[in-house]
Amino acid sequence: MILRLAWRNLWRQPRRTILSLLSIAFAMGVMVWLLGLQQGVYGQMESNFMRIVQGYAQIQPRGYADDPDIDKTVPRPGALARRIGTLGLTASPRGSGYAILSSGTRSRGAMLLGVVPAAEARLSAIPTAVHEGRYLRDDDGAAIVIGKSLADNLHVQVGQPLTLLSTAKDGSVAADVLTVVGVFATGIGEIDRQFAELPLSRFQATFALGGDASLIAIGGPSLKAVDRRLPALRKLARAAGLDAQAWYELEPGLQQAIHLDASISVFWYATLLLVVVFIILNALLMAVLERTREFGMVLALGARHGLLGRVVWLELVLLVAMSAALGMSGGSAVVLWQAGHGFALPGGDALFRNRGLSGKMYPALNAFSLLTGPAAIGTSVMLSGLFPYLRIRRLEPVSAMRAV
């Protein structure tokens, strides 16, 4: 009975109800969309950025993160990689060090990675970023792939030799002559200017690593899947006297950048919420004030204050529920459409490309992005419903009936 009463009351002023409904739904939809956008872009930033070279996690020698020295190594990386494989993840042992690369009279400092080509193809973006020549193959010997700007600065082309000069693990001179088999362009300035990859076996021989690796990069179906396996990875690493590093430990700046954006945006969402609450509070007060006489009459006929309060409250609940349905479906429709097509803002293109993202933003729909906004707005609007409710509790039948 109460429900039907509330429902009918709601439609006594259809225009006002629709306007209130639209304002709540619009705010909820905007929140679903913006949170979806943030969630999507954060996810893109995390996984795409980590995927370029670092991997979603790494197993490193103790203290390597602070001081990536060539003396610090992971012994028997093959056995460890197989055990990581049993967790359903991809493991790629790598050698890592700095060297001077020279071609003719040109020389440049570069960051070298010794890699297992087949494993890299499953976790790094570099194999797919090769645009001249080819990526490394498992049977390659004296081969190297280098970044586009590095190749340009060294005046070297596919098929030409490069000299490598550095210090090996045992302190001796590490020197080698390698043939450039491929040039890659990731679009990320630092990587295209500084990175080069050669086969791990060649790296181990040149840098006197024996059978050791510098670290093990870890990939998987998704960044979240790797994160879920972190406890197992840490246990595995500890048992071998090594450290497991999650993506946020490898790239703390990225995680902080995300936290920074998220914490600042909370403030803007709060202002959005307040505007909605004030608009609705206004509509609610009107709805109650204009019915003062009617309420007085009903009270005089013997209805209890509690019942009246419940009816008015229920009106609000119905309003919020309809708005939520509309706002959430509208917001998620936009999110889902853009998740497929992408959403571009002026200036975003260049910015994202240099962080390893495509030029567009792809929002993501998940429980958090779908429910947080509507729940926050819904709760605040229902709380603001306390004001008219309290007003009704104070009504005296006689004076109320005389009200204009």
Partner 1 sequence: MNAALELLLPLAWRNLWRNPRRSALVMVAVAIGLLSIVDFTALMQAWSRSTVTASLRTLTGEGQIHAPGYLGDPCVQHRMAPPSGALLAQLDSGEVKAWAPRVRVPAMARSERASLPVTLVGIDPRREQGLSFIADPLAEGRHLRDADDGGVLIGRKLARRLKTGVGKRIVIMSEAADGRLGERGFRIVGVYPAAERTESTFVFTGLHTGQKMLGIGDAVSEVSFMLRDPSQLDLYLHGLRKAAPSLDVQPWRTLQPLTEAMSRFANSFVGLWLGVMSVLVAFGVVNTLLMAVYERVREFGLLQALGLRPRLIVVEVLLESAFLTACGVLLGAAGAVALIAGFHDGLNLGFLARGAEWLGAGHVLYPQFDWPALLRACLLVWTLGVLASLWPAWRAARRSPVAVLGQG
Determine, following the binding rule CB under 8 A, whether residue 285 of this chain makes contact with partner 1: yes
Residue 161: burial class (beta carbons within 10 Å; 0-12, 13-18, 19+): middle
Single out the residue of 5, 47, 83, 107 in contact with partner 1 (rule: CB under 8 A).
107
283-287 CB contacts, 8 Å cutoff, 24+ apart:
283/16, 283/19, 283/20, 284/316, 284/384, 284/385, 284/387, 284/388, 285/387, 285/388, 285/391, 286/16, 287/9, 287/13, 287/16, 287/312, 287/315, 287/388
Binding mask 287-306 for partner 1 (x = CB under 8 A): ---x----------------
Q: Do the bridges between strand 143-147 and strand 173-184 make them parallel or antiparallel, or are there none, so unpaired?
A: parallel
Q: Tokens 């309809």 identify what position?
A: 322
Single out the residue of 2, 175, 239, 275 in contact with partner 1 (rule: CB under 8 A).
275
Single out the residue of 158, 240, 254, 317 in contact with partner 1 (rule: CB under 8 A).
254
Determine, following the binding rule CB under 8 A, whether residue 110 of this chain makes contact with partner 1: yes
How far apart are CB 83 and partner 1 at their closest, in Å?
A: 31
Binding mask 57-96 for partner 1 (x = CB under 8 A): ---------xxxxx--------------------------
Single out the residue of 168, 205, 230, 281 in contact with partner 1 (rule: CB under 8 A).
281
Task: Name the packing angle between helices 252-289 and 305-341 (round to 10°).
Answer: 140
Of residues 19-38, those binding partner 1 (CB under 8 A): 19-20, 22-23, 26-27, 30
Per rule CB under 8 A, count of chain residues that contact partner 1: 64
Cβ-based neighbours of 316, under 8 Å, separated by 6 or more:
284, 381, 382, 385
Determine, following the binding rule CB under 8 A, whether residue 177 of this chain makes contact with partner 1: no
Single out the residue of 129, 250, 283, 370 in contact with partner 1 (rule: CB under 8 A).
283
How far apart are CB 272 and partner 1 at their closest, in Å?
A: 7
Binding mask 322-361 for partner 1 (x = CB under 8 A): -----------------------xxxxxxx--x-------
Distances (CA, A) of 38 to 167, 271, 303: 45, 18, 50
How far apart are CB 310 and partner 1 at their closest, in Å?
A: 24
CA distance 199 to 25: 57
Binding mask 121-160 for partner 1 (x = CB under 8 A): -------------------------------xx-------
**Residue 81 or 145 with smaller CB distance to partner 1:** 145
Single out the residue of 210, 231, 252, 306 in contact with partner 1 (rule: CB under 8 A).
252
How far apart are CB 106 and partner 1 at their closest, in Å?
A: 7
Determine, following the binding rule CB under 8 A, whether residue 170 of this chain makes contact with partner 1: no
CA distance 319 to 94: 59
Residues that bind partner 1 (CB under 8 A): 13, 15-16, 19-20, 22-23, 26-27, 30, 66-70, 98, 100, 102, 105-111, 152-153, 166-167, 194, 252-261, 263-264, 268, 271-272, 274-276, 278-279, 281-283, 285-286, 290, 345-351, 354
